[in-house]
Structure 1
């Protein structure tokens, strides 16, 4: 909802600074997305005077004009002379005051004014019509100003169109705030001020009564709660006056003609959508024009005002005419039809002010992907009790601005008038839920300002308010709704913070929450940045990169997806992270290190809900840091990702961690030989590896990417307790190097595990520092792995005999177990 500050200021006293009102809106629950200035669109557009008008030498309809734009005068070479402008309009003469867009100006419709040539003659700007300025639909000629108009004045300053607009995000329950009157009422409640509204009234009614001209029938139930029709005859359709155009422009609504603009203006003013029909579009029966509200038939075709032919579904609301409503003329509550629109040839107008069913209107607009200002309001419920009053306002304006003659009375079909019941609001309950002693006088004033009628009974905390909610507030149905209104106006920031009352319970994070936060801290310490992607995924995103469905259940489909490409719940975090890498690379950022902690959703056959599982995943691409004169970072590869996982598991005190090759179809998305499963004992925690080039190509990534994905629940379950403090040894250590030649398929992990097992308590450190292959010196199919072994005792200094004895025992056991031999 775009709120014109000037328009709002005419109804209620406002602070001088719009940002102050914006802060109050946000405080009370109405988000303000932006504060804009409408007049900025008239930059480099000024008032001017036509000095000369000569026929174009090479055209029979163009004119070469010299235009005085005051201090802005400049010729093609930059000299201070009047502007030469080629113009095609025929409605002006020498001496006329006009509006000129100079070079650099931008007109509505993204039209940029540049220096150019028309039929060989240089033109240094444009003489503008009202339509080109976005002020009205009039394009018969350029805009002629009064004779006393100044020369060279910025056009926004001249017409006073500079207006501040607050772009407010109205929550679905506040349909009343989708109108200027509703916003004025809200401001009055916030600041405890009166607001006033000047409503135009019909001056005189004449001719045959509306009831003798029009008949209205609600054929199908559940489509329309109330339908009001009025007739205005002898209407002169034309451009709207400037004040009306300016107000509609400020609200972001495009102008058409005076009648259509009036209906849009009244909608923005009151919140009640209206529609103006050409009365002749309705068929006549028994001397009356027939109007019917009915449900569409399955497959019925209708052409809407945007000149699109739409195929309707059964149940969609239609305004129709003819026998049993055979001929549709409008989509009820959404958009009119091409055959019934008001045009320059329209003489008699039927004004519709109705209340269409919110649910049916919402389904119609969304099923047809046709969201309009009217449908937005109807689906949030409009005030059906005001239909007649709003129709009268529209007719009064048509009478004033289009010279129409308003027919007496209206046709009002209202099958079931709304009945409201008062709501009891207990003062004690307000204090209990709000946690603040809000004064009874404030409660009564706030609710009254919001349009409710309030009567109080009782004294002290026993006081009870009988509140009759306003008809334009359908969201106020319970006591808690009233309490929410009182609290948001009083100020939730004024409620003092207190500790919740509880017995035998202390606050704090659970073990799972603590460890989840610790996981994030560890990964950030490793240089990764946290990200958060949508929980939605595209169908087949796992298959596209080679991931299998094994262990992931079936896809969970979304009934009403927000994005057409994301119709399932995600079953892995990796596709979203790869999209983040792709986005960053396309924006010239190759060094990407990200992690995400999120929920995965696995569907199950014949189950009412999917299985959910927490997961942690990360991606690393590029390098850690940028190239400098004294530092050239290495590209991130498999062992960098493995190191991050090892550090994570080490900090979590995860026991019996080991890695085994990730082979087979289950890991087709990883580079062969550069992927590993992560295990804790016999439990598979996840995997780490380099993404396969084919999988990277799906996202257009042309550099290596290391990734990992771990089961967070298994990580937390297997995390060990904090290790007890152990003193550092005061005794020296002894180091031995050992190179063992083994078969090529013996892994470092296996060999290291055997070394630690054979070394006993004295072996405190094992570190691989060399791997060597040579068919001649080592042997074909063999490799030499060299380890640095550290021996130390905690209670004494080791003797050479102790070390030799332990070392010889270790070598014997390891060589026997692996079939290896010590390399000489």
Structure 2
């Protein structure tokens, strides 16, 4: 938002320069910058056009003489609005303009030109370039333009955070500045009227279909107005902040919005077509042509202002052309309302519009400012449009909005800030912010002002006190003690190690949206959490799994030529375990997917390595083994998870950590994805990090005695899981068994139907002696007995 320094200083008296004001506002959290670098306009002076006539050799050019107070300079100008008697910004020969333009003598169509009459765009002030910049008649000829500009047109651009709707006005910014500086604040003038008889009720009646969407609506009537150009001061103020002047009626409405932050709207009473004002939701097939002359089809997503039958405005966004003020307007309806922020946000998004009014309403306006703005507009219409107020008004305010009541504890303030701020400073700061403050011992009981809907909790008040006190006044301190217990590993270090390992394996990390559609969250049997006011039908639920985001990313890349992908994501997932907030469970999760070829054929590798169960198992096992938290075990599931066609459990020391498998093709069809043969894994990072914290690295001395290798070949039933046989062998816990690995699986009719021959390679080693055959044979005999008994195996 752009503010005029001249306008700003109407509410707070300060001798600070524009740069100092900008620095103070930035320290308050209102990031400020001066939009125009005045130093670039050092050579520009104020001149007066003393002669203006048509160029003898060009229809669209004019031959001018411009006085700089000493000389009359010949200049050829092509601006359509240049005329005799105007005060203008003159760039003489030798002057430099923004953008690297240097002014030189020139001959244009045979006539000499020794300078330039500048437009706002050429001066770098705005994008206006259709004509020259015409200065006020009291501008002094020969004065440096930069000095004139600083006094009359100096502005600051503010980048205001969404929670500070109160600062979307000159008065709101001045109020924050005054609180920081401890200065008095002058409130805008408005004149509440009393009336014996409410004559406005005879002309208008207000009905609100849902008061939650429009808690307050004020309307009144002004007769006999005269629509004309705005007075010079009003035009200049609006133009200085980038607002285009329309006429006195529209400009007054915009002026009040920029002054106190309350959007209003003015309807032509005769065009309104009814005394009924009904605020309701849109209906199917309704249409409204808005003030930008675009016909829009409205729907139940939009809140409308209607005349009882037809829409005349999209509430809080833009008025309709069918009730717009024109030069023929004589009687107007003044609307000043407070609308529910989420309702206006959805309306603006639904019609794809963002206006000055909607920006303020959707961030949270002040319900009490609606009345202030109404009376301010009445006064201005009487003074500058010769209007006659019809005594009375309609103020539909069925349920008054009460300010939040907050207890601020001195102990908590000192603890959070690390300071000992004096009580009288805290008390005065809270009052400067607009709070009603009552001291209770060492604490303060505060009622937040209605213009600060962001002040809801004690921590909000603490933030405000520190903000006014100044973050720059908090001294830096050194902490020599660890903030974490030494036996607890920083989770971020764990995440870094996991990411680095996955990157090394060829994975790419992605970040997807936490909000998904209902269809996307239905891929598993987890109870999901829906959002109360979703921004769109694609963002209605909190994600219960990272898999949909990975699949969507894979599908996008696949459709754009990337057929081989290895992706992973780390983030929070949510599920519902009960009622209310306590029934929402949040877990930290790691998920990944692979598809296509992991390794392409080459001169060194004749066959491609494709994505399959063994590939995803190997990748997960490599990751977990690298973290050194225990032995990785893979178990089958009795019932596959709904998102997988076939899935397996991932265990560490008999503790379930997650699962992996092949994504169900039905899920891919439901999500309308063009990819197939996707393998995925999901790991609970809360459990994994807990295991890392509990694990301890141990170092064993190198064994200098030789190893002994033996192969055993068992004939097993096809349904026997090789992993179970492996576990059975390792469970012998014999100290000389160093390692066991399945080497190959052989199937042939010669070994029997539904049979398979599996070869296991066993490695033996003793820490204190060289093994002899008899030592190894004893262990092998025991293994053969156990495997034969437990799995009906036969030695081949």
Tell me the TM-score normalised to structure 2 length: 0.66
User: Aligned residue for 2:501?
Assistant: 526
User: Aligned residue for 1:535?
Assistant: 514
User: Aligned residue for 2:19?
Assistant: 16
Distance (Å, rounded) in 2 between the aligned partners of 1:664 and 1:479: 49
CA apart distance, 1:438: 1.9
Q: 1:53 to 1:409 in 2, by over 3 A?
A: farther
Q: 1:411 and 2:403 equivalent?
A: no
Cα RMSD after superposing both structures: 6.6
CA apart distance, 1:186: 0.6
Q: 1:562 and 2:512 equivalent?
A: no
Q: 1:350 and 2:332 equivalent?
A: yes
**Paired residues of 1:696 and 1:702 also in contact (CA < 8 A):** yes
CA apart distance, 1:267: 0.5
Q: 1:382 and 2:382 equivalent?
A: no
User: Aligned residue for 1:645?
Assistant: 620
**Cα deviation digits, residues 362-397 of structure 1 (max 9, x gap):** 599479767754455457343537735664457537
Q: Where do residues 76-91 of structure 1 align in structure 2 (5 Å cutoff)?
A: none
Distance (Å, rounded) in 2 between the aligned partners of 1:665 and 1:260: 62
Distance (Å, rounded) in 2 between the aligned partners of 1:373 and 1:532: 33
Paired residue secondary structure (1:794): coil
Paired residue secondary structure (2:262): coil
User: Aligned residue for 1:336?
Assistant: 319
Distance (Å, rounded) in 1 between the aligned partners of 2:56 and 2:198: 56
Paired residue secondary structure (2:680): strand
CA apart distance, 1:274: 2.2
Q: 1:449 and 2:432 equivalent?
A: yes
Q: Where do residues 753-792 of structure 1 align in structure 2 (5 Å cutoff)?
A: 753-756=727-730, 760-768=734-742, 770-771=743-744, 787-792=760-765
Q: Where do residues 713-792 of structure 1 align in structure 2 (5 Å cutoff)?
A: 722=695, 725=698, 727-728=700-701, 730-738=703-711, 740=713, 742=715, 745=718, 748-756=722-730, 760-768=734-742, 770-771=743-744, 787-792=760-765
**Paired residues of 1:593 and 1:621 also in contact (CA < 8 A):** no
Q: 1:806 to 1:498 in 2, by over 3 A?
A: same
Pick aligned residue for 2:180 from 180, 185, 190: 190
Distance (Å, rounded) in 2 between the aligned partners of 1:812 and 1:495: 75
Q: 1:571 and 2:554 equivalent?
A: no
Distance (Å, rounded) in 1 between the aligned partners of 2:342 and 2:696: 64
Distance (Å, rounded) in 1 between the aligned partners of 2:220 and 2:734: 97
Q: 1:635 to 1:262 in 2, by over 3 A?
A: farther
Distance (Å, rounded) in 2 between the aligned partners of 1:527 and 1:396: 67
Q: 1:245 to 1:708 in 2, by over 3 A?
A: farther
Distance (Å, rounded) in 2 between the aligned partners of 1:182 and 1:795: 83
Distance (Å, rounded) in 2 between the aligned partners of 1:717 and 1:273: 53
User: Aligned residue for 2:114?
Assistant: none
CA apart distance, 1:227: 3.2
**Cα deviation digits, residues 180-223 of structure 1 (max 9, x gap):** 11111112212334556786999xxxxxx998799555554766
Distance (Å, rounded) in 2 between the aligned partners of 1:571 and 1:522: 25
Pick aligned residue for 2:218 from 227, 230, 233: 227
CA apart distance, 1:579: 3.1
Q: 1:662 to 1:353 in 2, by over 3 A?
A: same
Pick aligned residue for 1:303 from 285, 288, 301: 288
Gaps of 5+ in 1: 56-62, 71-81, 100-126, 203-208, 284-289, 500-505
Q: 1:157 to 1:316 in 2, by over 3 A?
A: closer
Distance (Å, rounded) in 1 between the aligned partners of 2:707 and 2:406: 84
Q: 1:619 and 2:587 equivalent?
A: no
**Cα deviation digits, residues 469-511 of structure 1 (max 9, x gap):** 7675577799987666434422467679999xxxxxx996899
CA apart distance, 1:708: 0.6
Paired residue secondary structure (1:382): coil
Count matched residues: 717
Distance (Å, rounded) in 1 between the aligned partners of 2:276 and 2:660: 66
Paired residue secondary structure (2:709): strand
**Paired residues of 2:594 and 2:616 also in contact (CA < 8 A):** yes
**Cα deviation digits, residues 378-429 of structure 1 (max 9, x gap):** 57343537735664457537855xxx32336753445889899999988857
Gaps of 5+ in 2: 67-74, 90-116
**Paired residues of 2:502 and 2:623 also in contact (CA < 8 A):** no
Q: Where do residues 226-625 of structure 1 align in structure 2 (5 Å cutoff)?
A: 227=218, 229=220, 231=222, 233=224, 235-237=226-228, 244=235, 247=238, 250=241, 256-281=246-271, 291-296=275-280, 303=288, 305-306=290-291, 308=295, 318=305, 320=307, 329-330=312-313, 335-343=318-326, 345-350=327-332, 352=334, 354-356=336-338, 358=340, 365=347, 373-374=356-357, 377=360, 380-382=364-366, 384=368, 387=371, 391-392=375-376, 396=380, 399-400=383-384, 404-407=385-388, 411-413=392-394, 436-451=419-434, 472=451, 485-491=464-470, 520=495, 523-528=498-503, 533-541=512-520, 549=524, 552-582=525-555, 592-601=566-575, 609=583, 615-620=589-594
Pick aligned residue for 2:157 from 138, 142, 165: 165
Q: 1:657 and 2:633 equivalent?
A: yes
**Paired residues of 2:216 and 2:338 also in contact (CA < 8 A):** yes
User: Aligned residue for 1:688?
Assistant: 660
**Cα deviation digits, residues 707-752 of structure 1 (max 9, x gap):** 2113557768989954685743645032224263746946653453
**Paired residues of 1:422 and 1:466 also in contact (CA < 8 A):** no
**Paired residues of 2:303 and 2:344 also in contact (CA < 8 A):** no
Q: 1:128 to 1:298 in 2, by over 3 A?
A: same
CA apart distance, 1:539: 2.9
User: Aligned residue for 1:77?
Assistant: none
Distance (Å, rounded) in 2 between the aligned partners of 1:386 and 1:665: 56
Distance (Å, rounded) in 2 between the aligned partners of 1:603 and 1:688: 24
CA apart distance, 1:521: 5.3
